[in-house]
Structure 1
Amino acid sequence: MTKGATGSRKVSVDDWIDAGYALLAEAGIEALKLDRLCAHLGVTKGSFYWHFTDMAAYRAALVQAWAELRDRDRSGFGELSGLAPRDRLATMMAALRADRQRALERAMREWARTDPAVADSVRAADHKVVAAVRRAFQDAGFDRDEADMRANATFAAGIGFLHLSDAPSGARLAAQQERFLDVMLAL
């Protein structure tokens, strides 16, 4: 945010998106109210309407920006193919449980339960992750069907870890995930 000549705040679309993410992560979809967003940013409603026609357009921008963020975060998964399958899976799991994403990921999944556009975005991103996990299991020597079953189970467990963990990821969670990989990679 920058200060204008009159001392009023000038916020960008990115500032509004970041504010929405903060409120989503803190209190869920019910927190996405115009008054609350304005208070969070310390600006008036006019600033909101400078960037967005209405709340529906704002929410659509949030979904689009989140999809782009996830795509950027997950784009490196394809580049992991040079790693051993176990190292690749561990790296992907670490990325998916990163502290900066955990609360927002949970909030977006909750929102997806009631909004088809958000559900489509979540589903599309999930398919990319499952495909990368499946490839790692195939590279570990499992046939396509077995790799598919293990990829789906690993992904589901990862979502479970995400929802069961209220605290930042720590040594205990990391150890559990490492043990989980041992189990999933056993022949």
Structure 2
Amino acid sequence: MTARDQWLEKGFAVLAAEGFRAVTIERLCAEMGLSKGSFYHHFGGVPGFEAALLEHFEAVETQRYVDAAEADPTASARQRLDRLRAAVVADGDRAAALEVAVRAWAAQDEAARAALERIDGRRLSYLESLFVELTDGGREARDLARTVYLLLLGSFHVLPPVPVVEVGRLWDRALDTLGELPDVLPSGPA
């Protein structure tokens, strides 16, 4: 792991444990035993670090999961979806705490909000692409993608949080039953 990545991982740890206001240069330097000069060398300042932290969040908490799901190019959409679920569950509660902290940060910071909107868009787009292959596409694929994504995110925000292993079970149950339910509600706008 590079020194830059170590700064970012330490930022993640503090962010997940105590929120974005606790992520300060002084705190990171003290916990890592490094100088402010090293911090400024890698990031140029706090705005550069925050931008890098959000980019790293996207790579670690989005692209890494997509890469895991897409590891076998011959896999079916259901197999890729199952691999995606397995990767999310394997990360456990650390990823959940980080997700909650980034969302709290985005609620108070415009740059974090813009980054999270892009990240949410990428995640939903990927899920929808899998569901397009499993359904007739269109609204059904979009609805299933949103349902699974909201199930995951919502599980992080209830108190006490739903254990990630339980989320995996609920994810499977939702996938097994959602497509089988009759459309009992009138259709609204897509």
Q: Which runs of 5+ in 1 are unaligned?
A: 2-10
- Paired with 1:167 and 1:156, the residues of 2 have a C-alpha distance of 13
| Change over 3 Å in CA distance of 1:149–1:38 after alignment to 2 | same
- Paired with 1:50 and 1:84, the residues of 2 have a C-alpha distance of 45
Q: In the alignment, what sits opposite 2:53?
A: 62
For residues 76-128 of structure 1, give each alpha carbon's deviation from its aligned partner in whole angstroms, at most 9, with x where no partner exists.
44556744444333322333342253222222222122222222222222222
TM-score relative to the length of structure 1: 0.77
| Change over 3 Å in CA distance of 1:67–1:140 after alignment to 2 | closer
Instruction: Count residues with an aligned counterpart.
Output: 177
RMSD across aligned positions (CA): 2.7
Query: Percentage identity across aligned positions?
Result: 29
Q: 1:91 aligns with which of 68, 83, 94?
A: 83
CA contact (8 A) 2:77 2:134 kept: yes
Q: In the alignment, what sits opposite 1:46?
A: 37
Report the residue type matching 2:150 in the other structure: A
Q: 2:164 aligns with which of 146, 162, 169?
A: 169
Q: In the alignment, what sits opposite 2:113?
A: 119
TM-score relative to the length of structure 2: 0.76
Q: CA deviation at 1:40?
A: 1.2
Q: Which runs of 5+ in 2 are unaligned?
A: 182-190
Q: CA deviation at 1:38?
A: 1.4
For residues 107-166 of structure 1, give each alpha carbon's deviation from its aligned partner in whole angstroms, at most 9, with x where no partner exists.
222212222222222222222222222233222233412211221122111211233474
Q: 1:134 aligns with which of 128, 138, 155?
A: 128
